[in-house]
Amino acid sequence: MLRAHFYKHTLNFSFDAGTSRGVLRKKDSCYIKVWNQETPEVFGLGEAGPLAGLSPDFGAVAEEKLRAICGEINRGEWKEEELSAFPSVKFALETAFSDLGNGGVRKIFDNHFYKRHTPVPINGLIWMGPKDFMRKQIVEKIGAGFTTIKLKIGAIDFEEELGLLQFIRTEFSTENLVLRVDANGAFTPAEAMEKLKRLSAYDLHSIEQPIAAGQEDALAALCEGTPVPIALDEELIGNSHRKEALLAAVKPHYIILKPSLMGGVSGSREWIRAAGKAGIGWWITSALESNIGLNAICQLTGEFDNPLPQGLGTGKLYTNNFASPLEIRRGSIFYDPAGHWDLSYFS
C-alpha cells in the first residue's frame, strides 16, 4: 500500500537577495515523501516551492493541497487529478513518484546528467544590492569560471546599473563573457524602449521580462522593435492554456521555464514543444528551490539537447540547504557520483 508524508522547511538565505520586487531573506518549501508500506526505506521526494507574488498556489494553498493529498494517499483514496491551479504541487508529485519509480535514489530521469554525470552549463546570477556588492559578485563569478552571467536590474539607480555593465564590458569582451539581464518587469512601457536602446550598447545576450506581465500589446511592440533580444518569464505564468496564442502574439526571442510555475514537468515539456514550433529559444531555471527540487530540474534539463546556459546555480543560496551530489564547477552544474544526500530531515 502506498504511503505519503508532508514536510515543511524554511530556507534561510545566506545574504539579502535583492530583486525589483523586494529583498528575500527566507523562503518556505513544502515536500512530499512517498513510499510503499512494504519497503519504507525506498522513498521518493518532491518539492513544492511556490514564490510570493508569482505562484498561484503560494503559501497555505500549496501546503493545504499537499496535506490533503497525503491524507488521501494514506487512506487509499487518492486518484490522479487535474492540478493546473497548483503547479508547484504538480511538480512535487510528478518528481516524487518518478523518484520512487526509479528506486528512491533521487533519480528523476534516467539520462546522461544523472547516469553519465554530463554537466549542464549555467549562468552565474548577480543579485541586486549596493553597487559595491554587485561588483563583488561579478568579480567572484568571473573568477569562478562563469562565461555567462545574469544581472538582476531595476532596483537601484539605472545609471549605476549601466555603470556596472560598462565596468564588465571594459574588462571582458563579448567573445569572453555573455551578459544577460533580468528586469523582473521593472520598466514602464513608456520608458522601456529607451532603456533597451541604452542597454544595447553593452552587447547583451537578452533581457528577461522588461515590463510587468499582463501588458501583452505593449510587450509585443517591444519584441518587434527591441535592439536587445527579449525573454519572457513572468508573462508565461497563468498562460499555460494559451501557449501557442501567446507566443504567436508576442513573438519573443526566448522563453524561460520554471517548472514549478509552468505546470510541472509535463507543463514544461508542452511549453518547450510550443516554443520549438514557433522557432523560439528557451532555457530552464529554478524557482529558488532547495537541492531536492533543483536536482529534479537539472535532470529535466538533461532530457534535452540545449546548449544555452541554464539558470540552475541557486543551490548555494541557503545556509540550511540539504547536502546533495550537485556541484558547480567552472560554470556548469554536475551530479557528482562521489557526493551524497543528507536527507535525515525526512527520516
Residues 134 and 86 in one domain: no
Residue 25's pLDDT is 87
Whether the CB-CB separation of 261 and 88 falls below 8 Å is answered with yes
pLDDT computed for residue 19 by the predictor: 65
* Same domain? 76 vs 146: no
- Say whether both 71 and 142 belong to one domain: no
Q: Are residues 20 and 119 in the same domain?
A: no
Which of 90, 107, 141, 152 is flagged as catalytic? 152
Residues 17 and 93 in one domain: yes
Cell of 116: 553519465
Domain count of the fold of the chain:
2
18 with 85, same domain: the answer is yes
Q: Which of 79, 101, 123 is the last residue of a domain?
A: 101
In a domain? residue 256: yes
Pairing of strands 148-152, 124-126: parallel
Q: Of 101, 125, 148, which residue sits at a domain end?
A: 101
CA distance 47 to 37: 21
Report in angstroms the alpha-carbon separations of 238 from 78, 84, 247: 26, 9, 14
147: Cβ–Cβ under 8 A, 6 or more apart, which residues? 176, 177, 178, 309, 331
Measured CA distances, 229 to 151, 182, 203, 209, 280 (Å): 15, 12, 10, 11, 11
Residues whose CB falls within 8 Å of the CB of residue 133, separated by 6 or more in sequence, listed in order? 127
One domain, residues 89 and 134: no
Q: Which of 27, 141, 150, 258 is catalytic?
A: 258
pLDDT the model gives residue 14: 87
123 and 82 together in one domain = no
Which of 43, 69, 101 lies at the terminal end of a domain, its last residue?
101
Asked about 8 being catalytic, the answer comes back as no
What is the phi-psi region of residue 324: left when phi exceeds 0, alpha when psi lies from -120 to 50, beta otherwise? beta
30 within some domain: yes
Query: What count of other Cβ atoms lies within 10 Å of the Cβ of residue 19?
Result: 17
pTM for this model (two decimals): 0.94
Q: Is 258 a catalytic residue?
A: yes
State whether 236 and 320 are in the same domain.
Answer: yes
Within 8 A by CB and 6+ apart from 38, the residues are: 1
The Cα 210–Cα 222 span in angstroms is 9
In a domain, 107, yes or no: no
Alpha helices in the chain (DSSP H): 60-74, 87-101, 112-115, 131-143, 158-171, 189-199, 216-225, 243-250, 264-278, 291-301
Range of the domain at 47: 2-101
pLDDT in tens, 2-12: 999 999 999 99
What residues in the chain have per-residue pLDDT under 70? 18-22
91 domain residue, yes or no = yes
Do 183 and 332 fall within a single domain?
yes
Residue 177 is assigned to a structural domain of this protein: yes
C-alpha–C-alpha distance, residues 343 and 347, integer Å: 7
Is 328 domain-assigned? yes
CATH of the domain at 77: 3.30.390.10
pLDDT tens, residue by residue, 245-270: 999 999 999 999 999 999 999 999 99
- Give domain status of residue 106, yes or no: no
CATH of the domain at 309: 3.20.20.120
163 & 191 share domain = yes
Q: How far apart are CA 316 and CA 5, in angstroms?
A: 26
